[in-house]
Chains A and B, each alone.
Chain A
Amino acid sequence: MKSLVEQKVLALNGDEAVAYAAKQADVDVVAAYPITPQTIIVERFSEYVANGEVETAFICTESEHSALTACLAASLTGARTFTASASAGLALMHEMLFVTSGCRAPVVMAIANRALSAPINIHGDQSDTMAQRDSGWIQIYAENAQEVYDSVIQAFRIAEHPDVLLPVMVCLDGFQLSHSVENVNVFPDEIVKKFVEVRRFPKVLTHEGKLALLKLDPENPMTMGPLAFPNYYFEFKRQQEEAMKNALEVIRQVHDEYARISGRNYGDGLLDYYYLEDAEIAAVCLGSTAGTVKTVVDELRAEGVKAGLLRIRTLRPLPFEGIQKALENVKAIAVMDRSMSFGGYGGAVFHEVRHALYDYDKHPFTVNYIYGLGGRDTSPMQIREIYRDLQEILEKNRVETPIRYVGLRE
C-alpha cells in the first residue's frame, strides 16, 4: 500500500510514540500519575506542555484513581482527554474505569502493560489489562511502536464516534514496546488534526424537553452518571453492550480510512492475519510477541510447514465471528496468554478463542500456552517448540497437556 502523504521517519520508543500521537491529536486535558513503564509517556507530554507545543491543560494528580476521575470529568464537559498508566496504577483506577465507560466518556488511555504485584515486578505482561477486560473499555493491543502511534490516533476517532462513545485503552507491552526504540513514520501535524477532527456530540433530549449536545454545559444543564435503580440500571448496561457491537464496525472503518492515508494496515483493524489461508497449524496471540511469531512462521513456511498466526488486535469488542472465520480450516491451534486466570481453565485469550470455536462442526485441537509473565523473554526457539508441539498433536491425533507454560522451571 502506498501512502497518500509524506511522512517523517523518527526513531522513537513506544512510549514516545504514544506521546507524539497524543500531541498531534489536539488533546484538551491530560491528567496522569507516573508509573513504570508508562512514565516516559507523561514525561514527554509534560515537556510538550512546558515548551508550549500543545495547548493542553496538564493536571498532575495525587493518584491514578484521581487521574482517571479528572479525565472523566473533563471528558464530560466536552474536552478531548488522554491519560496513561500501567499495572498497579491501572488496578487503582478499577472503580473509575466502570464509571468512565458507564458515563460513556470517550477517554483515551495508553497502558504500558506490566505485571501486577506481588512479588513486585516492573516488567511486562498483560495481567493488568486482562484484569480490566470487563470494565466496558475498548482494548487495542499493538505489535510495534509504529502501531502504537497509529492506534492512539485512531483511538480518538473510535472513542468519540457517536455510535460508540466508549473509552479506549491502547495497550503496548511494557519494555518490549514502551522502552524499545524503533522506526516510526509520523504524519505532519495538520494531517492528524484533520483525521481526528473536532470532537462531535450527539444531540439528546434534556429534562426540560430541549435538544442539547451531550456534554456538561451550564446553558443546558444535565446530569451525567445519575442514580439508576433496578428499574433502569439494566437498560444502561445493555446500551453499553450495543455500543461495543457498533464499535466493531467503527474500528474497522477508522482503521481502513487511516490505512488509505498512511499506507499501513493491521489486518482489518480487529484481527491481523498471517499466512492463515492454508494454515494447518496456527498460533493466536496479542501484542509484541506476534512479531517474533511472524519471524518463526516465515522460517517454517520456507521449510514447507503450513504454519500461520492470528493476532487479535482488538480484544474488546471481541471480533467473535472473525476469529471463527480466520481459524476455519486450521487443525491445531496454540492460544498464547501473557497473563493468568487463576483457577480458570487456561488464560483469558484461550477462553475467548475456544469459546468462538465451539459453535463449529469442526473442532480443531486447541492448546493454551501461558508465557512471558513478569517480563520473561519469549525466544524464537520457544515459538518453534510451540509449532512443533502442534505438529505432534496432529501426528498423534490427540492433546495430552491442554495447558502449558513456556520456559517455566517446573
Chain B
Amino acid sequence: MLKEVRIHGRGGQGAVTAAQLLAHAAHMEGKHVQAFPFFGAERRGAPVKAFARISDIPILLHSQVYSPDYVLVLDPQLHKIIDVTEGLRKDGVIVLNTTKKPNELGLAGWHVATVDATGIALELNLRVAGQPVVNTSILGAFAGATNVVSLESVLKAIKENWRGSAGEKNAHAAELAYKRLTKGW
C-alpha cells in the first residue's frame, strides 16, 4: 500500500531533512521509500515543500505528490497563507506545529493533530542558529498520529543522522511530541 506525505515548512526549518528522516525510518522497517525536496530559491523563511512516499512494493512514481495521505506542517502560521489541505485525501491526516487545539485552526472536516513543537524545542533548548528545531518533533508526532512508522524507527533514524548529544536531544524532542500530541478525532 502506497502512502504519500507532503511536508510544508519554511526555508531553514528542516522540511527536507524531515522527509529524509521519515524515509530512513520507514526503510529501517523494510519498506520501500522515496523522499525528495522541492527547492525554490533557497532563502530562509520562504514556504518550502518536501515529499515522501512509503510503500510495501517498489515505488515507480517520480512525480511530486499530488494527493497526499498525510500533511505535516512545521510552521504555526503557514496554514493561514497556503492551503495545506490541497489534494489531501478525504481520510487523510494533517499534523501541525501549533499551540492551538485541532478544532481552533479552521480546518473543520479534516483529521487534524497538533503538537507544540516550538515549545518543546525551547524547553529543551534545541536550537540551530538561534532558531528552534521543530522537524524532529513533528516526526515524533506523526508516529503518534498514524501507524505509518513506529516511534522507535523515528528515534533510530534521528540518532543515526546526528551522532552524540544532538541526536539524543532531537530524539528526546520527538519522544515528547509523540506523548504530547493532541488528536482531533
Residues of A within 8 A of B (CB): 9, 11, 13, 122-123, 143-144, 173, 175-177, 179-183, 288-289, 291-292, 294-295, 377-381
Contacts and interface: CB of A to CB of B under 8 A. Distances in A.
A130 B148 CA distance: 41
12 contacts: A179-B36, A180-B62, A181-B23, A181-B24, A181-B35, A183-B58, A291-B61, A291-B62, A292-B60, A377-B64, A379-B66, A380-B61
Most chain A beta-carbon neighbours within 10 Å: one of B19, B34, B58: B34
A183 B27 contact: yes
Contacts of B64: 377, 379
Contacts of A143: 62
A122 B40 CA distance: 9
B62 A289 contact: yes
Main secondary structure, interface of B, reads mixed
Contacts of A179: 36-37, 39
Given A11-B24, A292-B60, A295-B61, A182 B33 contact: yes
Given A181-B35, A292-B60, 5 more contacts: A173-B62, A181-B33, A295-B60, A295-B61, A379-B63
Contacts of A180: 34-36, 62
Interface in B29-66: 32-37, 39, 58-64, 66
Contacts of B39: 122-123, 175, 179
A123 B41 CA distance: 11
Contacts of A288: 62
A180 B33 CA distance: 10
Interface bin, chain B: 20 to 34
Most chain A beta-carbon neighbours within 10 Å: one of B19, B34, B58, B63: B63
Contacts of B118: none
Contacts of B35: 180-181
A252 B185 CA distance: 56
B27 A175 contact: no
Given A144-B62, A292-B60, A381-B66, A11 B27 contact: yes
Nearest to B34: A182
Contacts of A181: 19-20, 23-24, 33-36
B32 to A, nearest CB: 5
A292 B23 contact: no
B33 A377 contact: no
B115 to A, nearest CB: 25
Interface string B61-82: 1111010000000000000000
Contacts of A381: 66
